[in-house]
Amino acid sequence: METQLRMYLAGTIAAVAAFLFVSLAFSGQFNFIHGGVYIVFFIVVMVVFANFVKWAESLEFN
């Protein structure tokens, strides 16, 4: 469980850094509402994908 939590934390930090870079590079400003929505969406997609991978792996061993 701790490894999975670290994966989520590392992925979220990388996503925030990427969003910040792209946002500042193309528009020159950062909108906190857009950033917050992006972070929440990213975490939801990452959790859903991790659960999908677990489900797919469970089918391999049956």
Residue by residue, pLDDT tens for the chain (62 residues) are: 688 889 889 999 999 999 999 999 999 898 899 989 999 999 999 999 989 999 999 988 76
CA pair distance 23, 56, nearest whole angstrom = 35
**Residue whose token pair is 């950062």:** 30
Assign 3-class secondary structure to the chain: CHHHHHHHHHHHHHHHHHHHHHHHHHHCCCCHHHHHHHHHHHHHHHHHHHHHHHHHHHHHCC
Domain containing 54 equals 2-60
Task: Tell me the backbone φ, ψ of residue 29, rounded to 5 degrees.
Answer: -145, 160
Domain count, the chain: 1
